Amino acid sequence: MKNSIIFLFILNSFFLNAQVEWKKEKAKCPICHHEQCFFVPAQNTASMDIEAQYQLIFFPFTEHQSVFSCRKCNYSALMDDFFDVDTNFANKIENVDISGFAVGRFKTYLDMNVTDRLLIAEIMYQNKDLDNEFWCQFYRICAYHFERQDYVIEAEEYREKALKLSQKMLTDRNYSEGREKEFLLISGSMFYYLNEVDSAYTYVREASMRTYTGNSRKIENVRAKENLLTRISQQFSVQLRKEKLESLSK
């Protein structure tokens, strides 16, 4: 009896975690001021997707609803900076050509393909002053969603870009001091999804042995991040080792 209650509890909590509810909220597009519905998570949910965690992509960016677009003017960005628009940026993107993307009439932005929304967002972001860390994360998010939509070549191109940036940050003391573990893990992950398992194992294993101590340029919960990176890199490292051994025994 006791066991079945525990089992039910585990099952329930898994179900609750896996099910993400998004609620509608009305807001005006910061560019054309057209009022429409956007979807925001009803609660903060832990990502259950281990593949996403290996790529250091977390909820809500694992879900396509998190890429906002205006159904009227097509301005697009990730949900956390969609409304972060100043006059300088608005002027810059006024004449940016996004014709050919997301063509059609849409009830809400969810009817637009997420790959189109991301392509437009990429063009928009090129008009903002964003650092390597932003772009590395954005390219990983793009790769993740493009792959889910079966755009394998595009996903590969985004991963190559993310890999280049993570390697660049790793050698840049400004970024990497105290954060080597994170950039080693991202590099290893990108190598893995680019089918370079040997390099992936080297980087992920190295990441699993380092300690994340944070960097004064960034305010964050260092201990929570260290725990998270340790859990992911250790689990990933075990999986990669297994894959290597299996390929050797073939």
Q: List residues binding Zn ion (CB under 5 A).
A: 29, 31-32, 70, 72-73, 75
Taking the C-alpha atoms of residue 112 and residue 54, their distance in angstroms, rounded to an integer, is 27
CB 180: neighbour CB atoms within 10 A? 18
Phi, psi of 54 (to 5 degrees): -60, -30
Taking the C-alpha atoms of residue 184 and residue 207, their distance in angstroms, rounded to an integer, is 5
Nearest Cα residue to 73 out of 44, 46, 96: 96
Nearest distance, CB of residue 32 and Zn ion, angstroms: 3
Taking the C-alpha atoms of residue 56 and residue 50, their distance in angstroms, rounded to an integer, is 9
Nearest distance, CB of residue 34 and Zn ion, angstroms: 5
Report the amino acid identity of residue 246.
E
Nearest distance, CB of residue 30 and Zn ion, angstroms: 8
Taking the C-alpha atoms of residue 26 and residue 12, their distance in angstroms, rounded to an integer, is 32
Per DSSP bridges, beta strands 35-41 and 22-28 are: antiparallel
Nearest distance, CB of residue 125 and Zn ion, angstroms: 16
Nearest distance, CB of residue 100 and Zn ion, angstroms: 17
Nearest distance, CB of residue 69 and Zn ion, angstroms: 9
Taking the C-alpha atoms of residue 70 and residue 29, their distance in angstroms, rounded to an integer, is 6
3-state secondary structure of 177: coil
Q: What residues have CB less than 8 Å from 203, skipping those under 6 apart? A: 184, 185, 187, 188, 191
